[in-house]
Structure 1
């Protein structure tokens, strides 16, 4: 990436081209240096060319003698072919060898560049250094101050900027101390400001050490510590997914285009699949609707949490994972570097992120299936009964996404239109971060909507997406979302597995629907204070679900736990097979007490209501006695122990889903009026039967 010359001319870069040519470098005759306001100085196929530059053409060659790296600082001479004269030379900047050994290759390169910058016109690399952007033109977040810095408030870049400044400042102070201790005469000129500039130039322009593979053994080219500056080649700008090839020779380094490039078109380089945050931090720019964009989610495992314990077990079982960073990402809906068979959910939420959230969202039943491998921790998508974990995980992720949007929009309320290049890129970055979360919500809510929709045939992508205003996303983004929904296979195997209180009755045979519904409605109507604001017929709170589960379990148990004889349909009978096998039924000789005092107090008050109703209105229960059996004491379907068993089961099997997140996404006032109070509704998870 190049800077725009302060005088708006190409003079400096034409001089750079002439210097490179004089030392054996070249631009292919099909291309030329060009400049415009949007792209700055760049390489362009000549507009008057009659045909495209064919694939495989090496358009730029830079001689090894012009590259700048650690190997120049140490006057490296050990080559694969000793007969070839070494192209590496320190050209008058001799750093003490003890200093070089103390600080390492990366810091040595920074101080080496500083040295040649301070030499000015006397430096061998002056024709190159004069084309580099001076500190006042650098646009990375490290150079944001005052009003510009306000544009990063509320973003993860704000904290990342501070962290990098602290790390670099610590390195500089250690390095300059070492330089002085080795008696370097000009150490006082190597200031923090010059170090910051040099380190930024290296971070934004340096190439991997593999470009030197033509003359240096690969074993001596560790990519994480050796960086190489390539004069002339680094004039090329970044173009995501540009098809290029590096040619590492024993005299020159070449950049070849691996696609036909039409006349007048810019020759782009490919910096790799960089997110906008990476582009901003390292290069000082970002790209609207960057296909390779993704957001890093800050997910911490509190000490003692299931995820924390699982990660400890992973490190113990696989020590090599100790240094592995968790890849907690939210991907662009069009992220191109995923395997073709990646599931819908994993194509938006990285497997590491989804796996970690699945552990945090797991109930006791699901946690028994915890899977710990060297690749990560997760609750696997088991054939029967684990869809609840997928849905609970998505619900938690949706809450994080909404929180992220609100935080970004709230922190940007006072921002006006951008007034300079830094603010322009910061706005693109902020907008892209919001869009990542918004499109991710659309994908997550699609899976959740399918789980809540009892008529799967009526829920189609077109009708679902019609709820989003046409001007919300670009036509291209909307088309990609639709393609994702229609072509990617979901982790969710079955639809319609999340049910609200009133919807569960529709699963019952017609002849018992009415009595069951009326019995529960009548009972719960006397306990309105515990289920408000929901009406008794839609008592989807903990108490309503607990009473419902008590009734259904008693019907199931009245058949002697025989699925064939049960008056419940096969789906509910199989469900209770799982529940009674997983959650220990209550004992008859010990009274259970809920661990939460408020919950226990509520159930105690409800029991008093039930006992009063049994004495005064026994007909409320007689309508279902032929289903539950006319039992007494602990065997009665609403006995204290069974009620508590059902309460704890409901807490385990319910999924709390954000109400209408699409409406939140499309709201223009989101984030403009302070904190947003998210409302959620509890849904009971009842798995569908698996196909044979």
Structure 2
């Protein structure tokens, strides 16, 4: 295997030969997850860090065209999704000799990506590490993703076997998982390549890998811009490029960061393999279960119960639709329950649901069979989930107080009031 210096030198030479450009004042440096980019000397604000020719990007269409040429059959990949196309394209650099196929054009780039042992998404967790996520949404999301990706992999192997059984056998699960993880952790939406670049994903966008651009790690709120240049529509003119510009001054020897956009730790861990302590963008996904009691919609609630309004309204609607009293259904002429009663029931339902989820969250693992980086990542994620659930419980308490106040204003005596009167009488006796 090539060592780090050789891989970086080969990448630089390959990148430059295709029109790519690195700022001469930056260098590649080793971090725990592979390679990143740091400043050799002070960089002023608005420095261009790297510029990549857009034709050098790995896109689903590039992957499909390359695989069709190698397999000599366009039909085999016709029904594959974007992840299958790009992942198998990447894997073929390891299955066959890329020098024998000009369509496999990205080996110098792939050689600089993290080794499988350095990938740290939950699909790469050991059994004990995955078990440490039990009780969280991320545990179920990990199992769902594994089932989805394994099904894709099996489909690809079956289809490839129609062209070459040996190649199908060489497409191992580890290779597919590694390639798919590269895509989940490094891809940008194709909207970034438009004349008005954006990280917003649309229904028509697709994932793309941008060599050089994707070498920078993530820092929340890092001030960066992506500059797309389409200099000419002529086939003989310069190729369009995308450049990453850092608007912050960067001290010498400091790592240079990109900004992947606001993402909760659940998404960062599942797709990228890292977490941010006290991540302000953390969320938890909640759902009102049961066909009769909820819509089945996922509600994403953030810190300080941000975004809870829709969930609260659905709970109110669910409580209102439930039968009241001893009868299975309300009489047509029955008066609807007072608003304060609905609020109290809804607050109790929200509090109960959140308290149950809170009780299920795992405690920080004290076992020594978890890698320290993984244990810390899980701890940071769970801490965020706990903070959000506590905020939701506080929100439920505030709603309960509103309902009680409303009932008392209408002259109703509540169980809480009777309990207080009993306590006062006992004290007097």
TM-score range, shorter chain: 0.7 to 0.9
Match of 1:232 among 182, 206, 212: 212
Deviation at 1:409, TM superposition (A): 3.7
Larger Rg: 1
Distance 1:243 1:396, change over 3 A: farther
Contact 1:502 1:537 in 2 (8 A): no
Match of 1:293 among 276, 282, 288: 282
Unaligned 5+ runs, structure 1: 76-88, 312-324, 334-346, 367-383, 455-491, 505-533, 540-692
Partner of 1:99: helix, strand, or coil? coil
Deviation at 1:197, TM superposition (A): 1.5
Confirm or deny that 1:26 pairs with 2:21.
yes
Distance 1:58 1:350, change over 3 A: farther
Match of 1:430 among 355, 363, 382: 382
Of 388-397 and 123-132, deviating more is: 388-397
Distance 1:260 1:419, change over 3 A: closer
Distance 2:229 2:416 in 1: 73
Distance 1:435 1:389 in 2: 27
Unaligned 5+ runs, structure 2: 231-239, 325-336, 425-429
Distance 1:256 1:141 in 2: 32
Deviation at 1:41, TM superposition (A): 3.4
Distance 2:343 2:421 in 1: 29
Deviation at 1:427, TM superposition (A): 2.1
Distance 1:417 1:174 in 2: 34
Contact 1:238 1:268 in 2 (8 A): yes
Partner of 1:102: helix, strand, or coil? coil
The answer for the alignment partner of 1:41 in structure 2 is 35
Distance 1:179 1:418 in 2: 37
The answer for the alignment partner of 1:420 in structure 2 is 372
Deviation at 1:227, TM superposition (A): 1.8
Name the TM-score, length of structure 1 as normaliser: 0.50
Distance 1:205 1:497 in 2: 61
Contact 1:451 1:498 in 2 (8 A): no
Partner of 1:186: helix, strand, or coil? helix
Partner of 2:218: helix, strand, or coil? coil
Partner of 1:405: helix, strand, or coil? helix
Distance 1:178 1:36, change over 3 A: closer
Root-mean-square deviation over aligned CA pairs: 3.9
The answer for the alignment partner of 1:98 in structure 2 is 75
Distance 1:36 1:205, change over 3 A: closer
Q: Deviations over 1:187-243 (max 9, x none)?
A: 32122221121112111111112234369xx9xx97567321111111111222333
Distance 1:164 1:364 in 2: 35
Distance 1:162 1:48 in 2: 45
Distance 1:126 1:32 in 2: 20
The answer for the alignment partner of 1:154 in structure 2 is 135
Distance 1:166 1:435 in 2: 30
The answer for the alignment partner of 1:270 in structure 2 is 259
Match of 1:170 among 133, 151, 169: 151
Distance 1:244 1:107, change over 3 A: same
Deviation at 1:46, TM superposition (A): 4.5
Match of 2:126 among 145, 158, 173: 145
Partner of 2:83: helix, strand, or coil? helix
The answer for the alignment partner of 1:53 in structure 2 is 45
Distance 1:97 1:495, change over 3 A: farther
Deviation at 1:128, TM superposition (A): 1.2
Partner of 2:120: helix, strand, or coil? coil
Distance 2:396 2:416 in 1: 25
Contact 2:277 2:380 in 1 (8 A): yes
Contact 2:51 2:242 in 1 (8 A): yes
Deviation at 1:294, TM superposition (A): 0.2
Q: Deviations over 1:261-291 (max 9, x none)?
A: 3424543322232111111111111111111
Choose between structure 1 and 2 for higher RCO, CA contacts under 8 A separated by at least 6 residues.
2
Confirm or deny that 1:400 pairs with 2:400.
no
Q: Deviations over 1:73-98 (max 9, x none)?
A: 344xxxxxxxxxxxxx6797456311
The answer for the alignment partner of 1:328 in structure 2 is 299
Deviation at 1:45, TM superposition (A): 4.3
Partner of 1:198: helix, strand, or coil? helix
The answer for the alignment partner of 1:111 in structure 2 is 88
Superposed counterparts of 1:61-140, under 5 Å? 61-75=51-65, 93-94=70-71, 96-119=73-96, 122=99, 124-140=105-121
Contact 1:451 1:497 in 2 (8 A): no
Distance 1:498 1:175, change over 3 A: farther
- How many residues were matched structurally? 395
Superposed counterparts of 1:166-205, under 5 Å? 166-183=147-164, 186-205=167-186
Deviation at 1:146, TM superposition (A): 2.5
Confirm or deny that 1:350 pairs with 2:339.
no
Partner of 1:152: helix, strand, or coil? coil
Partner of 1:230: helix, strand, or coil? coil
Deviation at 1:118, TM superposition (A): 2.7
Distance 2:399 2:149 in 1: 44
Distance 2:370 2:241 in 1: 42
Deviation at 1:18, TM superposition (A): 3.9
The answer for the alignment partner of 2:427 in structure 1 is none
Partner of 1:175: helix, strand, or coil? helix
Distance 2:339 2:154 in 1: 54
Deviation at 1:416, TM superposition (A): 5.9
Distance 2:349 2:152 in 1: 39
Distance 1:394 1:536, change over 3 A: closer
Distance 1:34 1:365, change over 3 A: same
Contact 2:268 2:274 in 1 (8 A): yes
Contact 1:297 1:329 in 2 (8 A): yes
Contact 2:153 2:173 in 1 (8 A): yes
Q: Deviations over 1:287-314 (max 9, x none)?
A: 11111110111431x23x253xxx4xxx
